[in-house]
Homo-oligomer: A and B are copies of this chain.
Amino acid sequence: MDNHTITIYDVAREAGVSMATVSRVVNGNPNVKPTTRKKVLDVIDRLDYRPNAVARGLASKKTTTVGVIIPDVTNLYFSSLARGIDDIATMYKYNIILANSDENEQKEVQVLNTLLAKQVDGLIYMGHTITDELRAEFSRAKTPIVLAGTVDPDEQVGSVNIDYKSATEESVSELIAEGHTRIAFVSGPLSEPINGEHRLEGYKQALKNAKLEYDPSLLIESKYTHKVGGKVYKTIKEANATAVFVSDDELAAGILNAAQDDGLKIPEDFAIITANNSKITEMVRPQLSTIVQPLYDIGAVAMRLLTKLMNKEEIDEKTIILPYQIAKRGTTKEED
């Protein structure tokens, strides 16, 4: 028994047809007589033939693989998006090459390049911010790209998000409606458009609507980890805030815990509203009130959009905004 990998050629020989015909049946091309199709299929089955996707990719210039750049799989916000992406990808027969970037510009560029070298048919990027270098690479690439849960003022590529500004505005307004006047705003770096533009605008708008004064000392930039919650809480306290809008759930949980450790009653003494509705929000006590983002759907819709792009279908709108809701749970008072 010779031990070479069995190829389309072997199948062709055994079935007494040409490679082209085998290729046709493998690819479901209708131009093949049912009897020959069956004959070929039988041989394929007997020889346990498995088409080599790499060869296929070279010949067809399609890899049925898309690259996914993610800051950190371990982050529930992004992994939820990733899950939506993968499910739809699978549905459309694509596979995902997943690469963690840690929001590191160098890594991102680096990873983008290896992904392109691997001839991915499309690319989904997740992150908090898009650097100029990355943006330059994006526009240079011929490969379709979609941003998921990531905003870019320069709308060259497709993207799927919610309306962060109005979601933030609405959240902060809830806090105001409950009687809070000093509301802290905790986010990642304000240099990132999603924070410094969308969310902050929403925050300011809510204050303005309520004729409250805007106080920059209530703005806090922070990392998104549970651990720093204590430090952030201290800052909030020093600013005499009685409520806080937080743009990350893990961080919000950290703040919540710190506040309770400090003896505060939530939501009586201190209110919190967070932004992602990742499952963490329901695992802490009291449960976090939050903007309900359709995380899975953002990923799913992004991937769906990408399939259209890869397929060169006509797109009506490549900047997609999905609806959101606000869930009032235990860290804000009931309204009525």
- Residues on A close to B: CB < 8 A? 50-55, 57-58, 63, 65, 68, 72-74, 76, 79-80, 82-83, 86-87, 90, 95-100, 113-119, 226, 250, 253-254, 257, 260, 279-280, 282-285
Q: What residues on B are CB-neighbors of A83 within 8 Å?
A: 72-74, 100
Distance from A326 Cβ to chain B, minimum over Cβ atoms (Å): 21
Q: List 8 A-B pairs, Cβ < 8 Å.
A: A50-B113, A54-B118, A68-B98, A74-B79, A79-B79, A82-B98, A86-B99, A250-B283
Chain B residues with Cβ below 8 Å from A279 are 74, 226, 250
Q: What is the bound-complex CA distance between A309 and B82, given in angstroms? A: 29
Q: Which residues of B contact A282 (CB under 8 A)?
A: 226
Residue of B nearest to A260 (CB): B285
- A292 CB → nearest B CB, Å: 16
| Contact B117–A50 (Cβ < 8 Å) | yes
Q: Select which of B95, B119, B260, B284 is within 8 A of A53 by beta carbon.
A: B119
Is the Cβ of B95 less than 8 Å from the Cβ of A96?
no
Distance, CA A86 to CA B52, complexed state (A)? 25
**Residues of B contacting A79 in the complex (Cβ-Cβ under 8 angstroms):** 73-74, 79
Q: Complex Cα distance A226/B279, Å?
A: 9
Report the nearest B residue to A67, measured CB to CB.
Answer: B95
Determine the distance from Cα of A72 to Cα of B284 in the docked complex, in whole angstroms: 22
Please report the C-alpha to C-alpha distance between residue A96 and residue B284 in the assembled complex, in whole angstroms.
Answer: 33
- The docked-state distance in angstroms from the alpha carbon of A58 to that of B118 is 12
| Additional A-B contact list (6), CB under 8 Å, known A53-B118, A58-B58, A260-B285 | A52-B58, A52-B117, A68-B98, A73-B83, A74-B80, A74-B83
Within the complex, what minimum Cβ distance (angstroms) separates A237 from chain B?
Answer: 19
The residues of B that contact A117 with a CB separation of less than 8 Å are: 50-53
**Which residues of the other chain, B, contact A58 by a CB distance below 8 angstroms?**
52, 54-55, 58
Enumerate chain B residues within 8 angstroms of A118, measured Cβ to Cβ.
53-54, 65, 95
In the bound complex, residues from chain B placing their C-beta under 8 Å from that of A55 are 58
Asked if A86 and B100 make an inter-chain contact with CB atoms under 8 angstroms apart, the answer reads yes
Query: A86 to chain B: which residues have CB within 8 Å?
Result: 73, 98-100
Distance in angstroms between the alpha carbons of A65 and B98 in the assembled complex:
11
- Tell me which of B76, B98, B100, B283 contacts A87 (CB under 8 A): B100
Contact B96 A97 (CB under 8 A): yes
Hey, which chain B residues are within 8 Å of A280, CB to CB?
280, 283
Bound Cα distance A206, B321 (Å): 55
State whether B283 touches A253 (Cβ < 8 A): yes
Residues of B within 8 A of A285 (CB): 257, 260, 284-285
* Contact A52-B100, Cβ < 8 Å, known A58-B58, A73-B82, A285-B285: no
Using CB atoms, name the residue of chain B closest to A254.
B283
Bound complex: CA A179 to CA B115 (Å): 56
Is B226 within 8 A of A119, CB to CB?
Answer: no
